[in-house]
């Protein structure tokens, strides 16, 4: 394993601690450098494992998140689209928050222009 990260202060490239004349000193400092290299190696290995396990599911998770966001947008903006909403008093509080994403939502749903007259986003 080749590690391109910088060495800890006082460590040479072989893992030992450099002495005054430039030769590696085999003392407690060398052990400290090796522990630091081991820690960085374990961190890189853990990051690689995370990518290996979660990488294939990233697209499916992003699609599920987008579908939930679209459904939430439909709940909040449903009354403006003519869908009766029994909780409109509560969803109207969220209306200013979702207004920023309204243009991306209605184009993703296949609507060229906004379905309501009150919202001018295009």
Residue with tokens 């494992």: 49
Question: From CA 34, how far away is CA 3, in angstroms rounded?
Answer: 13
- How far, in Å, are 3, 10, 38, 92 from residue 26 at the CA level? 21, 12, 17, 69
Q: What is the pLDDT along the chain (122 residues), one digit of tens a residue?
A: 455 555 555 565 554 445 555 555 556 678 999 999 999 999 999 999 988 988 889 889 999 999 998 888 888 888 777 888 888 888 878 888 887 888 888 888 887 777 776 666 76
List the domain boundaries for the chain: 17-56, 58-108
Q: What's the whole-model pTM score?
A: 0.50
């Amino acid at each position: 394993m080749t590690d391109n990260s910088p060495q800890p202060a006082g460590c040479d490239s072989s893992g030992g601690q450099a002495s005054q004349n430039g030769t590696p000193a085999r003392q407690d400092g060398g052990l400290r450098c090796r522990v630091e290299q081991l820690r960085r190696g374990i961190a890189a290995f853990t990051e690689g494992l995370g990518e290996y396990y979660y990488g294939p599911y990233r697209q499916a998770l992003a699609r599920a998140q987008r579908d939930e966001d679209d459904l939430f947008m439909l709940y909040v903006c449903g009354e403006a689209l003519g869908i009766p909403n029994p909780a409109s008093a509560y969803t109207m509080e969220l209306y200013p928050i979702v207004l920023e994403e309204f243009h991306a939502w209605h184009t993703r749903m296949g609507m060229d222009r906004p379905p309501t007259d009150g919202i001018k986003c295009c």
